[in-house]
Amino acid sequence: MNTRFSFSVLAVLLVGLFGCVGSDMKINSFEAMGGKTVGVVSVGAVAKQQASLVKRYINADPREIIEYSRRSDAIMALLSGKADGIACPSFVAEYYAKRNNLLKVVTAKEEIPYKVIMVVRKENEALRNDLNKAIGLLNESGRLKSLENDWITNLPLTGEPANIGKMNSASARVLRVGVSGDFPPLDYISADGRPAGFNVALMSEIGTQLDIRFEFVSLESSARFTALASGKIDVIFFHFKSEQAPDLFDFDASKWITTDPYFQYLGDYFLVKK
């Protein structure tokens, strides 16, 4: 009886030990995400498209893909062990890893270049053309690169700055821009509760050129196109496309038109626990 009891206890301990080792194995490559739970933040793409992209990245089937409405929810799921990794743009992954010593970035062997663009309603072609002109002038003058250095490359690790908008004339047009805060440092919510980041700084510069006062409307990433269609907002200032993954970024060209790219980055990374 004692022998059988001891053997049973030993078996349970061994199963528990190996189970813990298996669940605690470090993730150091995209391929290691096979069979794991992957978190994604909904950006307007349908779940089937996001699942296809995740599978393409890891060259395997994940155990589960969980969609989150906000990046903060996805990060909490990762830290609590409800997700094994979060797929996110490279600059977002690096932003969080630099600010949380429990997290690290897993990079892809083959990076896919992405371009960041703005989206407006199709009937707002004049606005799209004005935005393109402003982006072009900022690029030619070097101001666009300067903003990228200030708000992305050299953004402080603590005490991130709030944006201070420039004054526009009393006759300035008012346009609304949707902000989720899910893509730092391109956009985030600063300590004073207001939208901030590279995109907000860029829109401030564009507003000065075009005599437009941009107002920022807080909404979830997945709601941006619905808000744009309904007229709640006039511009989506963070959307992305890639010639190497066009299926994810296919949207209704009968409704939307896009600006020229104003920022580029090298694909998605995984954010995981160390």
Whether residue 224 contacts residue 236, with contact meaning beta carbons closer than 8 Å, is answered with yes
> Helix (H, G, I), strand (E, B), or coil: what is residue 201?
helix
Whether residue 75 contacts residue 110, with contact meaning beta carbons closer than 8 Å, is answered with no
Q: What domains are defined for the chain?
A: 2-106 (3.40.190.10), 113-266 (3.40.190.10)
Sign for the pseudo-dihedral over CA of 190, 229, 138, 140: positive
Whether residue 36 contacts residue 85, with contact meaning beta carbons closer than 8 Å, is answered with yes
Distance CA 88, CA 41 (A): 8
Nearest to 186 by CA among 232, 243, 240: 240
Q: Are strands 37-41 and 64-68 parallel, antiparallel or unpaired?
A: parallel
Q: Are strands 256-258 and 113-121 parallel, antiparallel or unpaired?
A: antiparallel
pLDDT at 3: 41
**Cis bond before residue 185 (omega within 30° of 0):** yes
Where are any strands of DSSP class E within 3-108? Answer: 37-41, 64-68, 85-89, 103-106
For residue 176 the two structure tokens come to: 């609304």
Counts of helices then strands in the chain (DSSP H, E):
8, 13
Distance CA 146, CA 166 (A): 17
Altogether, the residues listed in the chain come to a count of 274
Distance CA 175, CA 273 (A): 40
pLDDT at 251: 64
Q: Are strands 268-273 and 103-106 parallel, antiparallel or unpaired?
A: antiparallel
| AA identity, residue 260 | D
CA 215 vs CA 157, 185, 195, 256: distances in Å:
27, 19, 10, 20
Grouped pLDDT means (10 residues each) for the chain, 274 residues: 39 36 69 93 66 82 90 94 93 95 90 88 96 97 96 88 66 89 89 87 93 89 89 89 64 85 91 96
